[in-house]
């Protein structure tokens, strides 16, 4: 019996889906606990590419049950589309997919607001446009609609009226955008609710029971620690708790602790959307990494910004999410590109600092680099070259936790476990 969490240690897209899919082979439950379909988790099976947004990355594993916890914001329309896509590859039924009755629902109004703000406000976050922020706002403002509310049309209409009361002024007077009527929205959501009903249950009790039965739990984070609403690069963040704290509020953590928290980290850094990025590359090396790494967002298709590995941010991520080990992905992309740089510290307000902290103004730091020898591994055996070993030990020395997993390609088998996770 063990509980493990997979958490993005950067700005998302670190390869969480691939690692979750691997560990799911030994897990009984794979649990999403925050975010929504802003996530895009890619798994390559043979020649098939499967991108999961809402459905946990355990779904490709026939023996494990995938769970969407109550902390996830849930778009019923997007879910039905994804369900159909995933069903084309694997069996998905109410037996192996369980969704919390208590997830907050993303309505059309949330998507309208997200788009209007990104289009018209002076501060652009570069959101995925999936209505995530506005849905969390309503949840916190205590006018959210829960999945269980979709099952009773009268209740739904009342709750929708409450939810849109203030928004109508924004739509009509401020943003001047069109939106569906409450009756239309209620009809759509009620119908979707009925289709989703067989999957709904009390996931908290399910997780607790699994724990009592000594099952292995695997929590799958979405986004990354630097996008966390509290620990991230605010305001250029997402609206949920992406660090380990989100597990406690968004799913439940029987026993009061997670045994292992694995931070997934690319061998370099990427970011989609707006916001500061100290080690961002604007030269041909940045372009090379972007092209070789095929760095395009799995949800929106946007080009990902690319840069060198940033140890002050990684050290910070370890602290913010109590990471116990790291998985370094995409080492194959750095292989053969020449000498590598790694940011070991920043110059900030006249001082040298080697760890970021909450509220630091990352747009004002100057990254300080160390140059490391190029490695040229083909990754055909588990033996790695001296220079690749040096790259990994440079990371371990800085963060003071071990690198337990390395990944060197998008395919399932292109991963190497340096230690055992489940016994």
**Interface pick for ligand IMO out of 5, 8, 139, 164 (rule CB under 6 A):** 8
**Interface pick for ligand GDP out of 64, 218, 407, 421 (rule CB under 6 A):** 407
- List interacting residues with Mg ion (CB under 5 A): 13, 40, 298
CA gyration radius, the chain: 21
The Cα–Cα gap between 147 and 195 comes to 12
Write out the binding residues for ligand GDP, residues 33-62 only, by CB under 6 A: 40-42, 44
Nearest to 200 by CA among 148, 253, 144: 148
Strand pairing report for 104-105 and 217-220: unpaired
Q: For the CB of residue 380, give the shortest distance to ligand GDP in the complex, in Å.
A: 14
Distances (CA, A) of 315 to 6, 19, 26, 280: 17, 21, 29, 18
Show the DSSP H helices in 170-235 as ranges.
182-196, 203-212
The Cα–Cα gap between 263 and 318 comes to 8
Neighbour-count burial for 223-237, b at 16+ CB within 10 Å, e otherwise: bbbbbbbebbbeebb
Residue 13 annotated among the catalytic residues of the structure: yes
Q: For the CB of residue 318, give the shortest distance to ligand GDP in the complex, in Å.
A: 17
Residue 329 or residue 335: which is nearer to ligand IMO going by CB? 329
Question: How many amino acids of this chain bind ligand GDP (CB under 6 A)?
Answer: 21
Residue 254 or residue 409: which is nearer to ligand GDP going by CB? 409
Strand pairing report for 48-52 and 73-74: unpaired
The Cα–Cα gap between 83 and 72 comes to 16
Q: For the CB of residue 181, give the shortest distance to ligand IMO in the complex, in Å.
A: 26
Residue 298 or residue 340: which is nearer to Mg ion going by CB? 298
Residue 8 or residue 144: which is nearer to ligand GDP going by CB? 8
Residue 245 contacts which entry, Mg ion, ligand IMO, ligand GDP, none (Cβ below 5-8 A, type-dependent): none
Q: For the CB of residue 39, give the shortest distance to Mg ion in the complex, in Å.
A: 6
Write out the binding residues for ligand IMO, residues 9-28 only, by CB under 6 A: 11-13
Residue 410 contacts which entry, ligand GDP, Mg ion, ligand IMO, none (Cβ below 5-8 A, type-dependent): ligand GDP
Write out the binding residues for ligand IMO, residues 116-145 only, by CB under 6 A: 125-128, 130, 132-133
List phi, psi (to 5°) of 262. Answer: -95, 120
Residue 402 contacts which entry, ligand GDP, ligand IMO, Mg ion, none (Cβ below 5-8 A, type-dependent): none
Q: For the CB of residue 328, give the shortest distance to ligand IMO in the complex, in Å.
A: 16
Write the DSSP assignment of 57-124 as a string of letters: TTTTSTTSEEEE-TTSEE-HHHHHHHHHHHHTTS---TTTEEEETTPEEPPHHHHHHHHHHHHHSSS-
CA dihedral 311→314→316→320, nearest 10 degrees, is -170
What tokens appear for 100 in the block?
């919390």
The Cα–Cα gap between 242 and 47 comes to 31
List phi, psi (to 5°) of 210. Answer: -60, -40
Token pair 């140890």 is found at 311
Q: Does 13 bind ligand GDP (CB under 6 A)?
A: yes
Residue 41 annotated among the catalytic residues of the structure: yes
Question: How many amino acids of this chain bind ligand IMO (CB under 6 A)?
Answer: 24
Write out the binding residues for ligand GDP, residues 271-330 only, by CB under 6 A: 298, 329-330
Catalytic site residue from 21, 28, 41, 310: 41
Question: What residues pair up with 67 in beta bridges, in sequence order?
Answer: 31, 98
Stretch in the footprint of ligand GDP (CB under 6 A) among 14-22, 128-136, 251-259, 365-373: 14-22
Residue 133 or residue 263: which is nearer to ligand GDP going by CB? 263
Output the residue with the shortest Cβ distance to ligand IMO. 273
Cis peptide preceding 151, ω within 30 of 0? no
Given the rule CB under 6 A, which residues bind ligand IMO? 8, 11-13, 38-41, 125-128, 130, 132-133, 222-224, 227, 238-239, 272-273, 298
**Catalytic machinery residues:** 13, 41
Given the rule CB under 6 A, which residues bind ligand GDP? 8, 12-18, 40-42, 44, 298, 329-330, 332-333, 407-410
């Amino acid at each position: 019996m063990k509980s493990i969490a997979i958490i993005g240690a950067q700005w998302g897209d670190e390869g969480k889906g691939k690692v979750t899919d691997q560990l799911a082979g030994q897990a009984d439950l794979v649990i999403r606990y925050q975010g929504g379909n802003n996530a895009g988790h890619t798994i390559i099976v043979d020649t098939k590419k499967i991108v999961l947004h809402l459905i946990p990355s355990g779904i490709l594993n026939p023996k494990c049950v995938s769970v969407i916890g109550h902390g996830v914001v849930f778009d019923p329309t997007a879910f039905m589309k994804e369900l159909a896509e995933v069903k084309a590859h694997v069996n998905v039924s109410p037996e192996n997919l369980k969704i919390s009755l208590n997830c907050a629902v993303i309505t059309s109004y949330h998507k309208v607001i997200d788009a209007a703000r990104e289009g018209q406000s002076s501060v652009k976050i570069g959101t995925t446009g999936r209505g995530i922020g506005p849905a969390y706002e309503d949840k916190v403002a205590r006018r959210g609609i829960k999945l269980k509310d979709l099952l009773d049309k009268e209740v739904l209409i009342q709750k929708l009226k409450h939810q849109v009361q203030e928004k109508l002024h924004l739509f009509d007077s401020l943003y001047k955008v069109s939106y569906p009527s409450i009756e239309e929205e209620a009809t759509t959501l009620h119908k979707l609710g009925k289709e989703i009903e067989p999957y709904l249950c009390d996931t908290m009790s399910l997780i607790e029971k699994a724990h009592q039965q000594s099952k292995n739990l695997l929590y799958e984070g979405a986004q990354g620690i630097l996008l966390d609403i509290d620990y991230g690069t605010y305001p250029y963040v997402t609206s949920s708790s992406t660090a380990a704290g989100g597990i406690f509020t968004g799913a439940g953590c029987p026993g009061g602790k997670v045994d292992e928290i694995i931070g997934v980290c690319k061998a370099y850094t990427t970011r989609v959307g707006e916001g500061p990025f100290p080690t961002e590359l604007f030269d041909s090396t940045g372009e090379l990494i972007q092209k070789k790494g095929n760095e395009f967002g799995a949800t929106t298709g946007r080009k990902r910004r690319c840069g060198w590995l940033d140890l002050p941010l990684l050290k910070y991520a370890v602290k913010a999410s109590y990471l116990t080990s790291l998985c370094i992905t995409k080492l194959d992309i750095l292989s053969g590109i020449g000498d590598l740089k790694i940011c070991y510290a920043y110059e900030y307000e006249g001082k040298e600092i080697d760890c970021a902290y909450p509220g630091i103004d990352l747009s004002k730091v100057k990254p300080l680099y160390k140059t490391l020898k190029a490695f040229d591994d083909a990754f055909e055996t588990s033996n790695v070259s001296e220079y690749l070993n040096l790259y990994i030990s440079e990371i371990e020395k800085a963060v003071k936790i071990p690198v337990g997993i390395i990944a060197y390609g998008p395919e399932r088998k292109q991963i190497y476990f340096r230690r055992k996770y489940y016994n």
